[in-house]
Amino acid sequence: MSGLITGLAIILFMQMLRWPLSQWLPGGDYENFESLPKGFHFALPVIGALILGLIYHRIKPRFRPTGIAHVIGELHQGHSSKLPIGNAIVQFFGAIISLFFGFSGGREGPAVHLGASGSSYFGQKLRLPDNSLRVMASCGTAAAIAASFNTPIAGVIFAMEVVMMEYTIASFIPVIIAAVTSTILTHYFVGNEPVFTVTPLQMQSLLEIPYVASAGVIIGCIAAGFIVLVQAFARLSHWSFWQRALLAGSLTGCAAIVAPEVMGVGYDTVNGAMMGQIALFSLVVIVLLKTVTSAAAVGLGVPVGLIGPTFVIGTAVGGVLG
């Protein structure tokens, strides 16, 4: 049931985001922000920030925290494993608005929040104890990742390592059942096409190992810089939300004038980089600007995820090194 609930929630979330974008963006491509006129690249995130600011002004502060960090905090630092459903509702509509207006962020973080909260709420209705609610939240987390990427094993590993922070047989079995169930559901309604087009990989020589190792070191350094940037923007939490959202929107808009690839989730950029279709200089610019704009969105409290942007950044860095 957790897998079914999460799968349906993720399908609804994806369709409510993709359908209006596919109707509006050029070519019917829901990720084709690049083809918009230059003026739209700056205006869209700023308008989205103002809309989010007006909405959040009417939302009680306790319902504003969203995303994976909120889920982990509630499960491991709160006094109860009950995830508030109000925060999930804010996450659902906040993420759709943010990504529709081109904020640099991911959809998997919101998906995890929706899956964990929906499963936790279902468990609360069954009056399960707190330890069972933690397992239910992990089931929802795994089901959300599995439904988003068509990867049930990745969902299980993410739920066990990131959310539960432990491996136990008692929790592993229900978590993998939920992940497989949600994947079957998305296969039926959406299809089983992979999110990314990965060309066949095969090492030709051991001489390639130093290049791969150096890529890991460089990407690790960029990841550390990304975390520092998120923490730096998070120090502005004393600002009102509309001020933080407007700063994030303005940074995204300015960056999008130079590199519109930073707008939205950016999985079209991931596929383009892996296929070698993006020029070297463009990849460098995308790495720099996607890092700043994504860190700003996450650190300043815009209800988007950070899994998607890290894929874009990592793939672009790999493309540069290649």
Model pLDDT, residue 178: 96
Crossing angle, helix 307-321 and helix 209-234, to 10 degrees?
140
Residues whose CB falls within 8 Å of the CB of residue 23, separated by 6 or more in sequence, listed in order: none
Model pLDDT, residue 200: 76
* 111/95 Cα distance (integer angstroms): 9
Cα distance from N-terminal residue to C-terminal residue, the chain: 44
Residues whose CB falls within 8 Å of the CB of residue 34, separated by 6 or more in sequence, listed in order: 260, 261, 263
Residues whose CB falls within 8 Å of the CB of residue 273, separated by 6 or more in sequence, listed in order: 283, 315, 316, 318, 319
Q: What percent of the chain lies above the pLDDT cut of 90? A: 72
List, for the chain, all residue ranges whose pLDDT scores fall below the cut of 70.
78-80
Task: Kindly report the pTM of this predicted structure.
Answer: 0.91
Model pLDDT, residue 77: 76
Residues whose CB falls within 8 Å of the CB of residue 127, separated by 6 or more in sequence, listed in order: none
In the predicted model, what is the mean pLDDT of the chain?
91
